[in-house]
Amino acid sequence: MNISLTLRQRQTQTRTFLCSILFVLLFVLSGCPASVEPVKEPLYSLPNGFPDINFPKDNPVTAEKIELGRKLFYDPILSSDKSIACASCHKQELAFTDGKIVSRGVKGELGSRNSPTIVNTGYAEHLFWDGRASTIEEQAFAAATNPAEMRAVESVIDVRLQKDSAYSIEFPRAFGNGTQPTLRLAMKAIATFVRTVLSGSSRYDEFIHGATSALNESEIRGRDLFFSYRTQCGDCHSGYNFTDNQFHSTGLFTHYFDQGRYNFTINKSDVGKFKTPSLRNIALTAPYEHDGHLPTLEAVIEHYNEGGKDFINKDSRIRPLNLTETEKKDLIAFLNTLTDNSLLNNPRFAKKP
């Protein structure tokens, strides 16, 4: 009886041991590196604390489209005489502005407005200083076909792109087999690339995310003043991108030859109103305002300190601030902390080698 029980116990132990070995082998095999898919690099880098980008349903993001858009952004093939590209007015080293009072187009044609940055425009509700475009695709097409900018004729550019051997391969790769290159699709690719040009890694961002030593005393005083009720700067330059995406008259003039938002809405209350620009990388994007007539940050601060000029639609928050010289310097010191140096040399945003 005891021997029989011992045999049965041994048989049970053997079966248990063999099952354990089998389980371990199955576990090891299931974790074999050969069966694990490689980790894909993200299509774009989202700054800490920023919401995700909403790509249009009719223009979803893909790696191929981003790369095509990046190439086209720097290619003068889209302008009438192949002399300028999108990048001519949006230079990476200037936070994607051009450093000019107003932009210049084909044959040096003088524009009427200062070139705004393309950085973080994936979050914009309205494009252009007057907000007449609602998507980056629409904005890009308008700039390409504007006689004072790239002066592109759609039918001409379509043929030019279709004759290009490289683009005849790259457009189908981005938009599907059988797709022929066109100016409209080029704008979709450029818009996709532009949505990935994101910036949110400044010293200010380090500070708000816990690195309290990232700002010095003057910069902290400037930050406190910026967000105070006394200046109300942070009312319009609000949120993670330092803009409310709205339109305001800040009393730049007593008469507006460029009537701003009114040109689009034909609403008298919009005369002299322009879109609030983001202040990110503001130290790199001089000159300032929609017409570039304020050359420095010092000039900008002085304008707001004086309360602007009398104008019927001037925002009520634009009033004399009576800042001291130290306070002005503190505000400028704070604005300089919004520079994201990684933006300026990020290879993802540079011209393809």
pLDDT in tens, 184-194: 999 999 999 99
pLDDT at 163 over 90: yes
- CA neighbor of 128 nearest in space, from 241, 23, 261, 231: 261
pLDDT at 214 over 50: yes
> Could you say which architecture CATH assigns to the domain 63-199?
Orthogonal Bundle (1.10)
At residue 36, the pLDDT reads 53
Give the chain's radius of gyration (CA, Å). 28
Q: Average pLDDT for residues 114-133, to the nearest whole number?
A: 97
What is the total residue count of the chain?
353
pLDDT digits (tens, 9 = 90+) for 1-14: 444 444 444 444 44
Quick one: 203-341 is in which CATH superfamily?
A: Cytochrome c-like domain (1.10.760.10)
CA distance 306 to 296: 16
Q: Average pLDDT for residues 96-125, to the nearest whole number?
A: 96
At residue 46, the pLDDT reads 96
Same fold flag, 63-199 and 203-341: yes
| Domain coordinates in residue numbering, the chain | 63-199, 203-341
pLDDT digits (tens, 9 = 90+) for 315-344: 999 999 999 999 999 999 999 999 999 999
pLDDT digits (tens, 9 = 90+) for 238-297: 999 999 999 999 999 999 999 999 999 999 999 999 999 999 999 999 999 999 999 999
Q: Average pLDDT for residues 215-224, to the nearest whole number?
A: 98
Classify residue 348 as exposed, middle or buried by CB count within 10 Å of its CB (0-12, 13-18, 19+).
middle
At residue 353, the pLDDT reads 83
Pairing of strands 247-248, 274-275: antiparallel
Q: Does 36 or 41 have the greater pLDDT score?
A: 41
3 state SS for the chain: CHHHHHHHHHHHHHHHHHHHHHHHHHHHHHCCHHHCCCCCCCCCCCCCCCCCCCCCCCCCCCHHHHHHHHHHHCCHHHCCCCCCCHHHHCEHHHCCECCCCCCECHHHCECCCCCCCCCCHHHCCCECCCCCECCHHHHHHHHHHCCCCCCCCHHHHHHHHHCCHHHHHHHHHHHCCCCCCCHHHHHHHHHHHHHCCCCCCCHHHHHHCCCHHHCCHHHHHHHHHHCCCCCCHHHHCCCCCCCCCCEEECCCCCCCCCCECHHHHCCHHHCCEEECCCCCCHHHCCCECCCCCECCHHHHHHHHHHCCCCCCCECCCCCCCCCCHHHHHHHHHHHHCCCCHHHHCCCCCCCCC
Find tokens 């730049």 and name the residue: 252
Share of the chain above pLDDT 90, in %: 88
